Amino acid sequence: MKKIIHILAVFTMLLTFFLIFVGALIKSTEAGLSVPDWPTTFGENMFLFPYSSMVGGIFYEHSHRLIASIVGFCILLNTILIQFSNFNKFVKIISLITLCAVITQGILGGLTVLYFLPAWLSASHGTLGQTTFCLTIILAVITSPKWYKNKAVKLNSKIRKLSFIAVAMVWTQLIIGAIVRHTESALVALDFPKINDTWIPSFKDDAIEKINYERFVQSFDFVLNLDPITSGQLLIHFMHRSFGYIIFLFMIYYCFNLYKNKLFMTTPIILILLISTQIALGALTVLSKKEFIVTSLHVSNGAAILGILVYLCLNINKSKLL
């Protein structure tokens, strides 16, 4: 029984990660409203909607809904199994929280469609999606036989603090990123590492006006139509970039501390690699003018970073949990 629960938890975690990628593809292809109704699909039962009709944007949107149903079902099933197992109270509570999160997430997804994707709703859907992914990771870890077999090492409070700060920082960056994405602030500048040819942008009216005139001129050379920007969009974009660099520096410090304590030799290397990739993907998102695969990889790679940090945090604080 415990083995089945663990396998199901790992499967759910992997499927949730894939679901985040497919969800990212929807925004990247602007297909969020290609299916105007919910929970039905073009008036039909979503499970009976023919594959041949999944053309254009419907392919991404409908696939996301189908995979999300499977994830939802897996979480529901596992929550029931866990309640009847002899896992401890912590596992039972986490599984119930995960179930609540996934149900809320499903409803949020439906509401984004019915209310035509207001930025705050879409950003919440993106944030809760990745938070649910973190919960599936926790569940996969704490249902593992290894988790109970291996003894917990007592660690100093500094490294424990760092592990929490790391999660909090990346989770905050996820929210900022979701706002950038859903307020159309990714392409307020088309250059990298500079922002509209400056290192620190000016948010004054005349500076914004100048940028907007430049964009208007450019729209006659480009195929892309560059909409005028606002100072709010520029600010959130600037925050996302700057905080990304701060996170990078912090992570080097964090990984250095992990090494010093002779903890997790490979995970920090993966972490640094993923964060470097993440900065590169962020730059490429801008430089490629939001090529849809690049943009979606930026989102899912971000989820992977958050996931690894949650995993580290969980292991570092193991002695407190067991």
Partner 1 sequence: MKRLISILVLTTLTVGICGSISGTVNFDGKGPKKKKLKMDADPVCGKSHQTPVYRQDFVMDDNNNLANVIVYLKNIDFKGSVTKTQVVLDQKGCVYSPHVMGVMKGQEILIKNSDATLHNIHGLPKVNTEFNFAMPKVLKEKKMTLVKSEDAFKVKCDVHPWMSAYVQVFDHPYFAVTSNDGSYKIDNIPAGTYEVVAWQEKFKDKTVAHQVTVADGNSKQNFTFVKPSKKK
Nearer Cβ to partner 1, position 34 or 122? Answer: 34
Residues 213-242 that bind partner 1 (CB under 8 A): 213, 216-217, 219-223, 225
Nearer Cβ to partner 1, position 118 or 145? Answer: 118
**Minimum gap (Å) between residue 252 Cβ and partner 1:** 40
How is residue 101 written in tokens? 């999160």
Asked if 51 is part of the footprint of partner 1 (rule: CB under 8 A), the reply reads no
Please check whether residue 159 is in contact with residue 261, taking contact to mean a CB–CB distance below 8 angstroms: yes
**Minimum gap (Å) between residue 211 Cβ and partner 1:** 12
Q: Return the residue of 3, 43, 149, 206 that touches partner 1, per CB under 8 A.
A: 43
Nearer Cβ to partner 1, position 57 or 279? Answer: 57
Residue 243, exposed/middle/buried by CB under 10 A (0-12, 13-18, 19+)? middle
Please check whether residue 247 is in contact with residue 169, taking contact to mean a CB–CB distance below 8 angstroms: yes
Asked if 197 is part of the footprint of partner 1 (rule: CB under 8 A), the reply reads no
Nearer Cβ to partner 1, position 37 or 197? Answer: 37
CA distance 21 to 64: 9
Nearer Cβ to partner 1, position 13 or 229? Answer: 229
Three-state DSSP class for 195?
strand
Taking alpha carbons only, the member of 171, 167, 175, 169 closest to residue 317 is 167
Asked if 190 is part of the footprint of partner 1 (rule: CB under 8 A), the reply reads no
Question: Which H or E element spans position 284?
Answer: helix 267-287
In whole angstroms, what separates CA 77 from the centre of its chain?
24
Listed in sequence order, the residues at least 6 apart from 9 whose beta carbon sits closer than 8 Å to its beta carbon are: 78, 136, 139, 140, 143
How is residue 301 written in tokens? 């790679």
Contact letters (x/-) for partner 1, 64-103, by CB under 8 A? ----------------------------------------
CA distance 6 to 241: 38
Q: Return the residue of 21, 57, 104, 274 that touches partner 1, per CB under 8 A.
A: 57
Contact letters (x/-) for partner 1, 107-146, by CB under 8 A? ---------x------------------------------
The binding site for partner 1 (CB under 8 A) comprises: 29-37, 42-43, 53, 55-59, 61, 116, 210, 213, 216-217, 219-223, 225
